[in-house]
Each structure stands twice: as C-alpha cells, then as structure tokens.
C-alpha cells in the first residue's frame, strides 16, 4: 500500500486530500460521514470580520459536469468562528486550515490578527489560506486575485500579522491572463504555498424566463468542468516556480483526478464540489489515490509530485 504522507512546505500531512473551502463549513456537517482526523485537513469556509447573511436565493445552479454558486460568503464572523467553530474542529483532531477573506486589505488584516491571537493560545490552525478572490470594495469591486499589486498587498499584510510558524497559503483565481504573474506577486509578498485554483466566473440563463438563474447573476463555476483548467494552472505555476508548494483544487472527484494534480506539481489537493454529492469524498479520494499509486508501482506520494514535468523517456530507455 502506497505511503500517502505528504508535505506542503514545512507542514506534514498524513494524506494529500483536504476539503476545499466553502464545501464543508467548519467540518461539523462532514463529521457524520468522514473521520475528520484521518483526512489530510479541513479548509474552513472563508471567514470575514463580521457576520454575513449571504446573497438572496437562488444561490446555486447545476451545470454540465459542474455547478455555479453565488453564496456571498455567508458566515458567523471571525469572533464567533474562533469562539465556537474552530475549537470544535480542533477538538475532533482535525488539521484545520483557516480561510480568511475581506473586502479590503484592512479587513483581511483584522481577521488575520484575531486568528493570530487565537493561535497564540490553544486554538491553533495548521495554516491560513488567503482567499483573494474577493471583490476589493476600494477598487470598484475588482477581485484582488486579478491584480498582482492588490494580491501582493493582501498576502503581504496577512503574512505580516501572522506568526512565522503559521504557513500562509494564497488561493489564486484562474480568471487571469497569466496565473504565474499573480503567483509571483503572492510569493514575493511572503506566501508559503499556493492554492490553485478558486472557481472561475460563470453564468446560466433560465430558458423559460430568459433571466439569470442565480439571484447574484454570476457565480463561481466548480466541479469536473473546470478540472483541465485547474490542472493547467498547477502545471504552469509548478514549471515557473519549481519547488514552490502547491495545493491543487478544481473538480477532483476521484483518486485518478487527484493523481493528475500531483503529477502536474501539487503536493496536496482539495476536494470541493464532489462533497455535495458524496460527503465521504475526501476519504474515498485518498483511498482511490492509494490504489492508483499501487497500480503504478509507486511507493510514495512524493514520487509522483511533478512527474508530468520530467522529460519523456526516449526510445530505448528502460
């Protein structure tokens, strides 16, 4: 049986399969289906400074091989999250990655400072993921992740207020011309790892009413429909920045899907949309990945990370 242990920078994980932010809240609703301590980790839903009700409904729409969501970052606010949700998750033995979000750099910093205060005590996540796919209120709602300067400003500001021992993962958007330019900005600003990728912006029209299906008009497209796009981003960033830790995200439904991301250069992956149809998916995907590695005769996850970048064997090589 293959050894699934992996690492994202300095962070060791027993398996490379985590939950993706926004698909399992703070883990409580997954607990009846998977052992939260056994999976690689739980990335919490992005937390903001204040409670948020989210957007009006409909918020989700099924699309071919995927789904659209326009939730609007509903959440309890960072104070309630740190008082109730995160302690519960840590008490389950889970490795918690706290996703932070904001409508301004100041809000990102305010949230990160409170996470840092909690981490100084006993409420300590294993990493912080910075969700920079949020509209920047101060810049006409332009998403931070679409602008290298804004991306660097947010990532650098969050990095500065967190202890050096707490890794910062920057979660990038695929909705850019050159994802490596945003990756470079995030890394220069101090990101310890990159999470690739967030949803891509999409839209669906109701064919009877001829109106947008989502109340928010546009939404984030996720699921298997975006997997090739996500694999491409991981591959490009891994090629541009060899050795930089990458967490692959985007339409992972099976162990074989996870294997693609590892070969493209990710050392861990996150499962998101698949959870809605199969809440056991984070564990099942890890089990299937183990089988896939066995079938290849590979003993360790590390042996396939970045395999797609290796030169093709020439004729006559064994």
* Strands, E assignment, 59-167: 60-63, 66-69, 96-100, 127-131, 135-136, 142-143
Determine, following the binding rule CB under 8 A, whether residue 141 of this chain makes contact with another protein: no
- Residue 59 burial (10 A CB sphere; 0-12, 13-18, 19+): middle
Determine, following the binding rule CB under 8 A, whether residue 52 of this chain makes contact with another protein: yes
In the bound complex, what is the minimum distance in angstroms from residue 163's beta carbon to another protein? 29
Determine, following the binding rule CB under 8 A, whether residue 33 of this chain makes contact with another protein: no
Tokens representing residue 94 in the block: 């889970």
**Pairing mode of beta strands 142-143, 135-136:** antiparallel
| Helix/strand/coil for 63 | strand
- Pick one of 9, 14, 77, 103: the residue that binds another protein (CB under 8 A): 77
| Beta bridge partner(s), residue 221 | 68, 200
- Pick one of 37, 38, 54, 106: the residue that binds another protein (CB under 8 A): 54
| Helix/strand/coil for 97 | strand
In the bound complex, what is the minimum distance in angstroms from residue 42's beta carbon to another protein? 16
Task: Please identify, using beta-carbon distances, which residue of 75 and 148 lies nearer to another protein.
Answer: 75
In the bound complex, what is the minimum distance in angstroms from residue 239's beta carbon to another protein? 39
Cα 250 from chain centroid? 9
Size of the site for another protein (CB under 8 A): 17
**CA pair distance 179, 175, nearest whole angstrom:** 8
| Beta bridge partner(s), residue 143 | 135
Task: Please identify, using beta-carbon distances, which residue of 161 and 215 lies nearer to another protein.
Answer: 215
- Pick one of 56, 93, 228, 277: the residue that binds another protein (CB under 8 A): 56
Determine, following the binding rule CB under 8 A, whether residue 58 of this chain makes contact with another protein: yes
Q: How many CA atoms lie within 13 A of 204 on its CB side?
A: 21
- Pick one of 31, 116, 203, 215: the residue that binds another protein (CB under 8 A): 215
Are 109 and 121 in contact by the 8 Å Cβ rule? The answer is no
Determine, following the binding rule CB under 8 A, whether residue 45 of this chain makes contact with another protein: no
Determine, following the binding rule CB under 8 A, whether residue 159 of this chain makes contact with another protein: no
In the bound complex, what is the minimum distance in angstroms from residue 96's beta carbon to another protein? 19
Determine, following the binding rule CB under 8 A, whether residue 232 of this chain makes contact with another protein: no
Task: Please identify, using beta-carbon distances, which residue of 63 and 74 lies nearer to another protein.
Answer: 74
What residues numbered 238-277 form the site for another protein, per CB under 8 A? none
Question: Ramachandran region of residue 10, left (φ > 0), alpha (ψ -120 to 50) or beta?
Answer: alpha
**CA pair distance 278, 284, nearest whole angstrom:** 9
Determine, following the binding rule CB under 8 A, whether residue 209 of this chain makes contact with another protein: no
Tokens representing residue 185 in the block: 């900005």
| Beta bridge partner(s), residue 52 | 75
- Pick one of 45, 55, 159, 227: the residue that binds another protein (CB under 8 A): 55
Active site residue 23: no
Question: Given the rule CB under 8 A, which of 74-82, 98-106, 197-205, 302-310 is the region that contacts another protein?
Answer: 74-82
Instruction: For residue 303, give every residue at least 6 positions away whose Cβ sits within 8 Å of its Cβ, in sequence order, or none.
Output: none
Determine, following the binding rule CB under 8 A, whether residue 307 of this chain makes contact with another protein: no
> What residues line the site for another protein (CB under 8 A)?
25, 29, 50-60, 74-75, 77, 215
Q: Which positions are annotated as active-site residues? A: 134
């Amino acid at each position: 049986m293959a050894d699934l242990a992996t690492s994202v920078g300095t962070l060791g994980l027993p398996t490379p399969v985590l939950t993706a932010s926004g698909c399992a809240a703070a883990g409580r609703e997954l607990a009846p289906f998977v052992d939260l301590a056994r999976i690689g980790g739980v990335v919490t839903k992005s937390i903001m400074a204040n409670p948020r009700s989210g957007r009006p409904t409909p918020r989700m729409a099924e699309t071919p091989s995927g789904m659209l969501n326009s939730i609007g970052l509903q959440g309890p606010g960072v104070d309630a999250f740190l008082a109730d949700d995160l302690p519960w998750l840590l008490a389950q033995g889970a490795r918690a990655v706290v996703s932070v979000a904001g409508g301004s750099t100041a809000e990102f910093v305010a949230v990160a400072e409170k996470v840092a205060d909690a981490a100084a005590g006993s409420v300590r996540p294993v990493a912080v993921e910075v969700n920079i796919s949020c509209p920047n209120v101060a810049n006409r709602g332009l998403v931070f992740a679409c602008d290298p300067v804004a991306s660097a400003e947010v990532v650098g500001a969050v990095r500065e207020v967190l202890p050096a021992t707490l890794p910062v993962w920057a979660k990038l958007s695929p909705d850019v011309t050159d994802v490596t330019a945003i990756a470079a900005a995030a890394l220069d600003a101090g990101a310890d790892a990159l999470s690739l990728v967030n949803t891509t912006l999409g839209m669906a029209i109701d064919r009877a009413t001829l109106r947008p299906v989502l109340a928010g008009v546009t939404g984030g497209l996720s699921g298997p429909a975006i997997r090739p796009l996500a694999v491409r981003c991981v591959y490009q960033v891994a090629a541009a920045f060899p050795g930089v830790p990458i967490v692959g995200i985007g339409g992972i439904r099976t162990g074989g899907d996870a294997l693609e991301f590892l070969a493209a250069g990710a050392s861990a992956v996150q499962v998101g949309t698949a959870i809605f149809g199969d809440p056991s998916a984070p564990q099942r995907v890890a089990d299937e990945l183990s089988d896939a590695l066995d079938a290849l005769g590979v003993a360790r996850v590390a042996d396939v990370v970045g395999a797609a970048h290796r030169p093709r064997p020439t004729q006559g090589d064994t």
